[in-house]
Structure 1
């Protein structure tokens, strides 16, 4: 089933705040990340449990936050960019906390996500987003992180290829389109 993303404002005559845009981006990012986790399962990659599946969703979110940061750098001044990405990340933390708590029970799921975001931000800083999208090393890093989460048992051995060649690109394209649409 195809994922339908609504990325146009209902009343596009009103100017939207960065808080509204970041909230919409977080919702869209969450939906894309969940869709990509489901896509891996549909391709017969195996999750050992819901916790592992949620970590894969989070890894996609971390990737999309990096994409948003690169796109915001082109479109916004430094202060606006910082505000947008900070609020986007905060909304992602809320999605992670709420959904993890629903599936896994009470606990602090947001703090580990923030720690991974800080770690990934440093790692992804080495990679570029050019006119065609994320570079090969950018996608390879996403694939590597998901491969690490999924393990290298026989059924998950090629997950890195699936992420690099198909799912990572698709996540980028859907998110980038939504990002541009929300600012139009």
Structure 2
């Protein structure tokens, strides 16, 4: 069953704050990341435990935030403080989803700081990759696949996860999050 994303506002005439838009982007990004993590399992890739599953979801979230940054900058031509505020608000709301969901599974703890640290690390890495009119370039997608393969391990059962992520899931994620972002600004 296909994931239904919420790419439009119910009241299209109402003006939205950057925080509201960031919250909507983060909500959809979380749902997309969760669905793609479940999809990997459905494609017979093996998770050792829930920590590994969440690590994959976090990689998907970070990838999406990098895409959001490129989409708003290059397609919507939002720059400067507005762009920075949107990315910061989206990251803040993503971190709340990470905190709430990890606390539900693993118990009390600070899950935000490790997420932000990884977000900053990966953000610097993704900034080196190009984005075209068609979307993220091959190296951009390969980096996502590589990071997920590192999380899942290169054992026999997960040997081809990089191909699944690059050829299918990464493209689906780009199409879904692009639809969300463009819909938030219509």
Is residue 28 of structure 2 the alignment partner of residue 42 of structure 1?
no
CA distance in 1, matches of 2:53, 2:14: 38
C-alpha distance after superposition, 1:68-88 (max 9, x if no partner): 111121321311001000000
SS state at 2:83 partner: helix
Aligned residue for 1:3, secondary structure, equals coil
Q: 102-111 vs 82-91, which deviates more?
A: 102-111
- CA-atom RMSD in angstroms: 0.7
Q: Deviations over 1:120-162 (max 9, x none)?
A: 0111111011100100000000000000000011110000000
| 1:110 aligned residue | 112
> The residue matched to 1:126 in structure 2 has which SS?
coil
- Counterpart of 2:79 in structure 1 is 77
| Partner SS, residue 12 of structure 2 | coil
Residue of structure 2 equivalent to 1:94:
96
Deviations 1:31-66 (A, max 9, x none): 000010001000000000111100100000000000
User: What is the number of residues matched between the two proteins?
Assistant: 184
1:1-184 aligned at under 5 Å gives the runs 1-74=1-74, 75=76, 76-184=78-186
CA distance in 1, matches of 2:30, 2:24: 10
Supply the distance in 2 between the matched residues of 1:128 and 1:36 (Cα, whole angstroms).
Answer: 23
Unaligned runs of 5+ in 1: none
| Off by >2 Å, runs of 4+ in structure 1 | none
Residue 96 of structure 1 and its aligned partner are, at CA, apart by 0.4
The alignment's TM-score, normalised by the length of structure 2, stands at 0.97
The Cα shift of 1:106 comes to: 1.2
Give the secondary structure class of the aligned counterpart of 1:180.
helix
